[in-house]
Amino acid sequence: MDIQITWMKADHSEDILRIETLSFDSPWSQKQFFEAWQDPKMYTLVAKIDSQLVGYLIYSRCRDKLVIENLAVDRSFRRNLVGKKLVLSVIDNLGNRDCVELNVADSNLDAHLFLRSLGFKASEIKRAFYGNNQDAYLFSFRPAVLVGG
């Protein structure tokens, strides 16, 4: 499948909210997406197949790391490498920063397996990170450092 990655636009909001609501127990609101979209520290990406919006990813840039704030793929298009292509476009922008990070609910096994397949490692447990008292794992991707020379 040909997956296109482009910038999020205002008229994507209906598709994004539909995917978000079907993907998370505590989905982001339209206001949260709008604030992220307007925030100059946030980068908002969508994935399309045949012009249909099938996934999105929001990340922020800090001096020493990139942080994935939200990521989801339409259920009907999962396991088609859409999520991988979105995350690789973040990794491509690492520059000389140390890592890409994100928090994932401890119960979200699909996301754990997905991230591990991309080389992320769980580096910390955050107790009661979510409002419903649920724990999160902090997952990090660090590019391999070449030693020698």
Ligand X SMILES: CC(C)(COP(=O)(O)OP(=O)(O)OC[C@H]1O[C@@H](n2cnc3c(N)ncnc32)[C@H](O)[C@@H]1OP(=O)(O)O)[C@@H](O)C(=O)NCCC(=O)NCCS
C-beta nearest to ligand X: residue: 83
State the binding string over 30-49 for ligand X (x if CB under 6 A, else -).
--------------------
Count of residues of this chain found to bind ligand X when the rule CB under 6 A is applied: 19
| Residue 53 interacts with ligand X (CB under 6 A): yes or no | no
Task: Answer whether 140's CB lies under 8 Å from 99's CB.
Answer: yes
Q: Do 86 and 71 touch, CB atoms closer than 8 A?
A: yes
Does residue 57 interact with ligand X by CB under 6 A?
no
Q: What are the contacts of 28-31 at 24+ separation with CB within 8 A?
A: 28/70
Residues in the chain, overall count: 149
- Which DSSP category does 63 fall into? S
- The CB density around residue 133, as the number of other CB atoms within 10 Å, is 8
Query: Which one of 10-18, 29-37, 82-90, 141-149 is the stretch in contact with ligand X (CB under 6 A)?
Result: 82-90
83 binds ligand X (CB under 6 A): yes
Q: Tell me which residues touch ligand X (CB under 6 A).
A: 23, 71-73, 78-84, 104, 108, 110-111, 113-115, 117
